[in-house]
Amino acid sequence: MVKVHIISGFLGAGKTSFIKKFICLLDGEKTAILENEFGEVSIDGGIIEKEGYDVIELPSGCICCSLKTNFYDALEKIVEDINPENIIIEPTGLGILSEILNILNMEPFKEKCRVESLITIVDGENYLEQEEIFGEFFKDQIANAKVLFVSKVDKISESTLNKIIKSLREINKSAYITDGNIEKINIDQLQRLLNTEEIEINYSFNHGAKAYIEGFHSSGFKLDKYFLKEELENKLKVLKSGNYGEIYRAKGILKGDKSNLEFNYVNGNYVVTTSNLEVSFRICIIGKDLNESRLKLLFDKKDTSSIKRGDGFIVK
């Protein structure tokens, strides 16, 4: 049977970084990654592909009722055509975990796949604020997980961590809860998160969660101009002003003056680092009531025409 590992988590929690560590456990085994990227322009797939793993993406949208068929077809293609030993599923940060489990409980996956890992990455830095805002949606990702990993603990106090763990335990009574800095996690720690026995698929679907995320939209575009690190940081600072919409998540890889720049933005917090990745330069922004013309003007996007399907992206 194909071993399935689901790495879930809200926008910006660190799913892609975690997967890059997690795949070390599967070294030597044929592994496929199914990533559901919310947005017109994919970022993470290119990053993982550079690590040498096959990635199949479903751009634009979340894994919920409206895209169930697309996800079903993509998963069936992997199982039948690629026939890997492992499939890692990375739903978008707006993915409803119970919907994924519902699909895996259908034929032919029920007989051909075995869920071995069901991990939700919890953003320690932003959880308490987001939990109040996203309520029912958060509960779906947390309640259906077998492992809850609290990330970014180096940015929070011990008392805050205790509040987070208490909240998680109220939602999920039985999950294994652990915490750490994803960049520093080692193989032994990861091994403890890998279940050796098949997980029985019991899930609770929350229709309130699906209704909430329907208001989210994305803006994505490619950029060929160069940025100074300080210049890019100044642009990211103003995203939380409200003048560009209610922005929860932004990420991108851009040309820098000396090396490429990679940025991650979550709820007003951002980090800009240098990157050696050789991918096309692009930005993806996720939120509500996005003002696309202002966003493109902010990043000085001269050509505001839609990205064509021939470019490998999907038109909104």
**Tens digit of each residue's pLDDT (9 = 90 or more) over 164-181:** 999 999 999 999 999 998
Shared domain for 147 and 66, answered yes or no, is yes
Q: Please tell me the predicted confidence (pLDDT) of residue 313.
A: 27
Same domain flag for 41 and 133: yes
Output the pTM of the full model.
0.72
Sequence-ordered list of residues with C-beta below 8 angstroms from that of 203, at least 6 positions apart, any chain: 97, 98, 101, 102, 105, 144
Dihedral sign (CA 153, 159, 164, 170):
positive
Classify residue 281: in a domain, yes or no. yes
Q: Are residues 183 and 79 in the same domain?
A: yes
pLDDT at residue 52 tops 60? no
Picking from 184, 218, 149, the residue whose alpha carbon sits closest to that of residue 6 is: 149
- β-sheet bridge partners, residue 43: none
> H or E segment at 279?
none
- Claim to verify: residue 119 and residue 251 sit in the same structural domain: no
- Quick one: 147 and 289 in the same domain? no
**Strands, sheet with 2-9, edge to edge from the N-terminal-most edge strand:** 54-57, 31-35, 86-90, 2-9, 113-123, 147-151, 176-179
Which of 4-13, 241-250, 276-285 is predicted least confidently? 276-285
Residue 272, SS3 per DSSP: strand
* One domain for residues 233 and 174: no
Under 8 Å between Cβ of 244 and 213 = no
CATH assignment at residue 305: 3.30.1220.10
DSSP state of 107: T
Q: Are residues 266 and 286 in the same domain?
A: yes
| End-to-end CA, the chain | 37
pLDDT in tens, 223-237: 888 899 999 999 999
Q: Which residue has the higher pLDDT, 178 or 190?
A: 178
Q: Is residue 283 part of a domain?
A: yes
User: Do 37 and 186 fall into the same domain?
Assistant: yes
Listed residues 212, 236, 256: the one ending a domain = 212
Indicate if 208 and 235 belong to the same structural domain.
no
Q: Is the pLDDT of residue 112 over 90?
A: yes
Residue of 250, 197, 259, 252 whose CA lies nearest to 228:
259
pLDDT value of residue 156 = 95
Q: Rounded distance, CA 35 to CA 65, Å?
A: 17
Q: Which residue from 247, 249, 276 is spatially nearest to 262, judged by alpha carbons?
A: 276
Q: Which of 150, 181, 212 is the last residue of a domain?
A: 212
- Amino acid, single-letter form, for residue 250: A
Q: Domain span at residue 206?
A: 2-212
Q: Tell me: do 197 and 233 sit in the same domain.
A: no
Give the relative orientation of helices 127-143 and 158-171 as an angle to the nearest 10 degrees.
30
Assess if residue 11 is contained within a domain: yes
Highest mean pLDDT among 124-133, 135-144, 235-244, 301-310: 235-244
Number of domains making up the chain:
2
Reported as a pLDDT band with limits 50, 70 and 90, residue 65 is very low
Are residues 229 and 208 part of one domain? Answer: no
Residue 316 lies in a domain: no
